Every structure is written in C-alpha cells, then in structure tokens.
Structure 1
Amino acid sequence: MRNVAHRFIGAVDALNYRLGRVVMYGIFVLMGILIWSSVSKTFFLPSLWTLELAQFAMVSYYILGGPYSLQLGSNVRMDLLYGAWSPRKKAWADVITVLFLIFYLCVMIYGAVGSTAYSLGYWGSEPFSFFGGLITGSSEIGRMETSPSVWSPWMWPIKAIMVLGLFLMLLQCVSELLKDVLRLKGEAI
C-alpha cells in the first residue's frame, strides 16, 4: 500500500509541477492581451474581444496554477498558531482541513461538469451520462452556449479548463493527504 501511495504522490506531484511551471508563464499572455487592449483603444478602433479574452486567460492561469501552488505550500494559512506547532500537529491539522477541501472540490467538480454539459447544449439532469454518451456516440452536442457579449465566444472551452483544473486540484489534495498520513506514520516523503 505504501508503494502505491508513493507512486501516486510522485505521479501527481510531477504532473502538477510540470503543468504549473508552464502555466506560470500565462501571466505574460495576460499582459500581452491587456497591452493590446490599451494600444488598440488608444490608437486604433477598440478591440471588443480583449477584455473577455483577458478574463478567460486569468481564469486559466488561476485554476491551472492552483495545484502547483498547493504543492509548493504557497497557499494562504493562518500562521498565528500553525507556525509554532510541531510537524506532527501540523500534519493532523492538514489531514482534517484537506478532507474539507476534498469535499468542497467534489461539489465544485459536480457543478462544473454540469455547467460544461449545459454549455455543450445538454439540458438534462445527468451530465456525467451525457459525457459518457458523447464517448460512446449515444449523445449529441446541442446548441452551444455563448457569452452574451458582442464577441460572443463559446463558453465550453473555459468551462472544460475549469473542470480540468478542479480535477487536478483534487488529485493534488489527495496527494497532500497521503503525504500527511505518511508523515503521521513516521515515514519520510
């Protein structure tokens, strides 16, 4: 069992580390979009797509960078008490809090999958069966949701990125949970 946990931790940490290192350069994409927005508003006709694309880029940057941030321990904590605790007491606190986070992420993933199915034109109440049907060919994509803006882009790409980011965050939380359990058992990670 320990060997499986170590392999899971290694695989998830490696995936989120590599993805996080790539996604962290997304801030430059966001900056480029906002610079173009400023230049086009000042010297040319204003681009209608820049604000919404900047929002999509920021969501992608934030949601795909979250697991990397959690892995590095750069998430916000209340260090008033936590900083003075022993490593064992910190591990116990982390085990308890990460269980709440895992529950929250499961609820978020369920809602995000439903929202993504809706953006692909599915109006039923079983979004997971809709995606299963897309794979097997028994479901069809309906009228796709678009943004109500003038640019009117499809919404499914950013919603799919949100599902992916939430799923990767869930995997990283399980990895952190396993690390804390192994620490409580006295094992080196």
Structure 2
Amino acid sequence: MPAWTRAYVRFVEAMNYRVGRFAMYLLYVMMAILLWSSVTKIMHVPALWTLEMAQFTLVAYFMLGAPYSLQLDTNVRMDLIYARFTTKGQALWDVFTVFCLMFYLGVMLWGAFDATAYSFAVNERNPTAWRPPLWPIKSVITFAFALMLLQASAHLIRDIATIRGEKI
C-alpha cells in the first residue's frame, strides 16, 4: 500500500480514537445532569433543561462513539458464517459490506447536513418550555456521520491491505 494510504488510515484512526475516548466521558456528564434533575425535583424547583440536555448528551455519546466502535471492531455482526471464513475471506466480505455501509452513511450525512443547514437558517428550536436551539446537536450528528464515513473508508483500506497480504 502507498505511504499516503497508511498515513490516512493512521490519521483517521487517531482522530476517531481521541473523539471516542472523549465521548466515553459524556456518560458521566449525562449522569451529572440527571442527578441535578433529581436534586432540583426533591427541592421542589425542577429545572426545565435537564431532560433535554440529558437527551442531547446521550445522542452525542452514541453518535461520537460509533466511529470508535467501528475502529475497535466491536460493532455487531453475525458470526455464524463470518467466523468460519479465513482472514482473507473475512476481509473480502468486509470489503463488500463496507461499501453498503458507506452508501448508507453517505445518505445519512447528506440528510444530516441538510437538516443542520436548515436549523441554522431558521434558528430552529425544540418546541418545549426550555426551547433550546437544535443546531448544536444537529452539528454533532453531522460531524459524527462524517467521522463514521472516514472510519469506514479507513476500514476499507485495511481490508484491501489484508487481501493483498500487507499490514497497515
């Protein structure tokens, strides 16, 4: 494999590793928000923002953790047949399925970008008592789909290297 493909894979995986490790700590942020919600309800002054903020944090946790999950190969797969393949057979199957994944992620990225642009343009807000703007979470979703697409392409390059008998 050319040196630039190796550098690309290392760069994408390093970036997704850092983002994924950051996303892991969003679970603690969400727990703190929900704890604050409980405390304010006990004190009979419930905060309006806690439920939505916990939901936004969970979305960020899930979406930003997805490329990291793909990188670590901890995503769900049917091992009934896949586990019986040789390493090259698994890489061939992964090449086929990663194209399906990349098509799906491309469509989702397009939709997410469109929704984010609309959210910016009209200053879209959630129709609740708190009324937070929606562009920040939609931007996170768009960014996460872009990271996932980059990770899928890095995965494709790794699989092609495996088929060729090379190591990245």
TM bin, normalised by shorter chain, reads over 0.9
The residue type paired with residue 86 of structure 1 is T
User: Shift of the alpha carbon at 1:100?
Assistant: 0.4
Q: Which structure 2 residues correspond to residues 7-26 of structure 1 after superposition, within 5 A?
A: 7-26=7-26
Q: Which amino acid aligns with 2:124?
A: E
Q: Which amino acid aligns with 1:147?
A: N
| 1-structure distance, mates of 2:29, 2:114 | 29
Aligned mates of 1:94, 1:47 — CA distance in 2? 47
The TM-score, its normalising length taken from structure 1, stands at 0.86
1:44 CA drift (Å):
2.8
Identity of aligned residues (%): 48
Alignment coverage as a number of residue pairs? 168
Give the equivalent residue in structure 2 for 1:6.
6
Correspondence for 2:38: 38
Amino acid across the alignment from 1:13: E
TM-score normalised according to structure 2 size: 0.97
Give the structure 2 partner of residue 182 of structure 1.
161
Counterparts of 1:25 and 1:39 in 2: how far apart (Å)? 21
Post-superposition shift, 1:19? 1.3
- Structure 1 residue runs of 5 or longer lacking an equivalent are 122-142
Could you tell me how far 1:163 is from its partner in structure 2? 0.6
1:75 counterpart = 2:75: yes
Tell me the residue number matched to 1:162: 141
The two structures, once aligned, show a CA RMSD in angstroms of 1.0
Q: Deviation of residue 21 (structure 1)?
A: 1.2
Work out which of the residue numbers 108, 129, 148 in structure 1 matches 2:127. Answer: 148
Q: Which residues in structure 2 correspond to 1:114-125 (within 5 Å)?
A: 114-121=114-121
Corresponding residue number in structure 2 for 1:90:
90
- Whole-angstrom distance in 2 between the partners of 1:80 and 1:9: 29
Question: What are the superposed Cα offsets for residues 16-59 of structure 1, whole Å, 9 maximum, x if unpaired?
Answer: 11111121111100111111112211223111111100010001
Distance 1:48 1:91 in 2: 49
**2:145 aligned counterpart, secondary structure:** helix
Amino acid at match of 1:101: L
Aligned twin of 2:55: 55
Deviation of 1:112 after TM superposition, in Å, equals 0.6
Aligned counterpart, 2:106: 106
